[in-house]
Structure 1
Amino acid sequence: MTTMVRTPTKRFEQRKSAIVGSAVEVLNRRGVRGMTLADVAARLDLVPTGVIYYFKNKEELAAACFLRGIERYNRLIAAAEDGGDVRERLRLFLDAYFDYRARMLAGEVEPLTAFNDVRALNCAPVNAAYVDMFRRIRTLFAGPETRGLSRPALGARALLLISEVFWAPLWLHRHDPEDFGRASRRFWSIAVDGLAAPGASWNPVALPALIPKAGGEASSELFLRAATQLINDEGYVGASVEKISARLNVTKGAFYHHHETKDELVVACFERTFDVMRRAIRQAESVSGDGLQTLTTIASALVEYQLTGNAPLLRASALTSAPEAIQPQLIARFDRISDRFASLISDGVADGSVRPVDVNIGAQMLTAMINAAAELHHWTPGVTPQTAAALYVRPFFEGLAPNQA
């Protein structure tokens, strides 16, 4: 006996698409672990079972959200693929992206999915589609002007570009939508030509250890390291007290000896990250001769730190799944770091070591580059803390596709 498979009706597909659209907004705010089917259903005046009819669980729904986001990014990439050279392709891609963001705010198109939690979902079809999207980004860099670059070098440039784009929503709200085209041009200028002034030398200074060694088995520093790793991997909700305690082989009681609540812990993790970044800034300023050397020293030290040992910086992606009540104060702290970078870029422009650029956008892009360094080993096989500066940091400062003229 043959089982008849019904073709989904147009109404079924429309409702399913509406559910995904609603879920994207929840996912972007709360992450995979924090999203619930009830939240998504409530936005559409449905009961949770009305969503389950289309998606059997939230993981399946999250996968649909990520796949839709990947499809949209692929369309943005496709808009750039006919460009005549790398610089033009990057310009076309960025113009398409910033234009989409402006139309989002006008309500003309649905929101883009944030990929902060894509690894936490660990869904094979999503992972495969995400890797394919990354490869398409990498092909934008293929051309005579990059023929001498290795595959890892092209991967590092692709990571720089996509990470900067993913970071943009954190600062783009400061601009009016009608100015998004202007922001795109300034973003593109920094991306393709870097921050360094023409002829400026590449000479970052090695800094001493950015964080003191941890003490005993259950020291506060060890708790912060373990929590930071788990939050980076699984988001705020996924990094449970049980998992943090198990990673350190201590009791939950030991956890609560150091931190009264989980919210207190995630704030402490961010504070530790900001302390490390501030320490790098202070040390770099004390040993550098000009603005560019200060900036390259900071960036090289923090990227190397990200790739060394088991003491990472907490990624900004953790903001997605952190409780909404504490998100504004944490975003404000990231903005404070970026404002400090803007001041250093201004110093470099004044002393001639940095190109005249939009210092605010440049500072946000620098913050994004440092923040994304934890992903570098996924896309550039064989990268080491010692090679990361040449492969990843230097192209940021000297340009992803500098003008050969």
Structure 2
Amino acid sequence: MRKGQITKEHIIRESAGLFNTKGYTGASLSDIINRCGIRKGGIYNHFENKDEIALAAFDYSFSQILSLLSKEQENAVNSKQKLLAICKVYIELIESNVLEGGCPILNTAVESDDGHPQLKDRAQRAMNLLFEKLTRIINEGIQNKEFRSDIDPEEVCSYMIAVIEGGLMLSKLLDDSKYIRHCSSNVMKYIDHEMMNG
């Protein structure tokens, strides 16, 4: 890998943690420079402005979430275990701080609702991808007769994501992982009582 590419990836990685904890508005270009240990000119060699860094940082953070989910689902033997793996990853986001600042979709959705349309668009696309992945798992479970055939995958996805992201938000706001654990437990009960076949 060339030195320029290494530097660019370093800026993205460091900025990702910064934006995910301080937010787009709260993280200044000075913060990025200080955190990366690179001069202003070094930043501008790779990015035109803060917006460009923020978009690349969001993409990086979301790719980390996807990687964590993929790793956790590797050993899942059925669709139920694949869904439960999502709960486990979100608990780890809070308890192990595996991704500085937590979920980039939640953080970006809250902050960029109206103020930054490009970041909002990125968060929407990321959420749509998450919906697609969940829908695929649910449809697979229906086809394998693991889940009931009359469940609505879109409705299930909405419920699961809303409950898990809500638990994440409460845990971050109140500095207590019990909320993500409570919400994950409710998702697990929902899978057992509302989705399982037989």
Task: Give the TM-score normalised by structure 1.
Answer: 0.38
Structure 2 residue ranges without an equivalent (≥5): 1-5
Quick check: which has more Rg, 1 or 2? 1
Partner secondary structure for residue 287 of structure 1: coil
Displacement of 1:258 in angstroms is 4.9
Indicate which of 365, 372, 397 corresponds to 2:159: 365
Change beyond 3 A, Cα 1:260–1:252: same
Match of 2:173 among 375, 378, 387: 378
Aligned to 2:103: 313
* Residue of structure 1 aligned with 2:184, choices 393, 400, 403: 393
Distance 1:320 1:389, change over 3 A: closer
TM-score (norm 2): 0.70
Question: 2:74: which partner in 1?
Answer: 286
Task: Describe how 1:239-278 pairs up with structure 2 within 5 A.
Answer: 239-246=27-34, 251-278=39-66
Question: 2: CA distance between counterparts of 1:290 and 1:369?
Answer: 22
Return closer, same or farther for 1:325/1:298 CA change in 2, 3 Å cut-off: closer
Q: Distance in 2 between matches of 1:255 and 1:287?
A: 40
Secondary structure at 2:48 match in 1:
coil
Q: Which has the larger share of helix?
A: 2
Q: 1:276 to 1:392 in 2, by over 3 A?
A: same
Letter of the aligned partner of 2:80 in structure 1? L
Instruction: Please state if 1:304 is matched with 2:95.
Output: no
Structure-1 residue corresponding to 2:14: 222
Q: 1:82 corresponds to which residue?
A: none
Partners of 2:43 and 2:119 in 1: CA distance: 21
What CA RMSD, in Å, does the superposition of the two structures yield over aligned residues?
3.3
Match of 1:167 in 2: none
2:122 and 2:181 mapped to 1: Cα distance?
34
Q: 1:298 to 1:257 in 2, by over 3 A?
A: farther
Distance verdict in 2 for CA 1:282–1:351, change over 3 Å: same
SS for the counterpart of 1:260 is coil
Count of residues in Structure 1 that have an aligned counterpart in Structure 2: 178
Q: Distance in 2 between matches of 1:266 and 1:368?
A: 25
Aligned residues of 1:291 and 1:344 also touching (Cα < 8 A): yes
- Aligned pair in 2 of structure 1 residues 237, 255: CA closer, same or farther (>3 Å)? same
Offset, 1:283: 2.5
1:339 positional shift: 1.5
Closer, same or farther: CA 392–282 of 1 in aligned 2, 3 Å: same
Q: Distance in 2 between matches of 1:375 and 1:258?
A: 37
1:342-363 C-alpha deviation (Å, 9 max, x unpaired): 1112222333444543211222
Q: Deviations over 1:261-284 (max 9, x none)?
A: 222122112212331232234334
Q: Pick the aligned partner of 1:344 from 137, 141, 153.
A: 137
Matching of residues 5-404 of structure 1 within 5 Å = 219-220=10-11, 221-231=13-23, 236-246=24-34, 251-309=39-97, 311=100, 312-314=102-104, 315=107, 316-325=109-118, 327-355=120-148, 356-372=150-166, 373-379=168-174, 381=176, 383=177, 390-399=181-190
Structure 1 residues 319 and 370: CA distance shift in structure 2, 3 A: farther
Alpha-carbon distance in structure 1 between the residues aligned to 2:43 and 2:80: 42
Q: Which runs of 5+ in 1 are unaligned?
A: 1-214
The separation in 1 between residues aligned to 2:82 and 2:70, in whole angstroms, is: 9
Q: Which 4+ residue blocks in structure 1 deviate beyond 6 angstroms?
A: none
Aligned partners of 1:377 and 1:318: how far apart in 2?
15
Once residues 268 and 275 of structure 1 are traced to their aligned partners in structure 2, the CA distance between those partners, rounded to angstroms, is 11
Shift of 1:297: 0.9
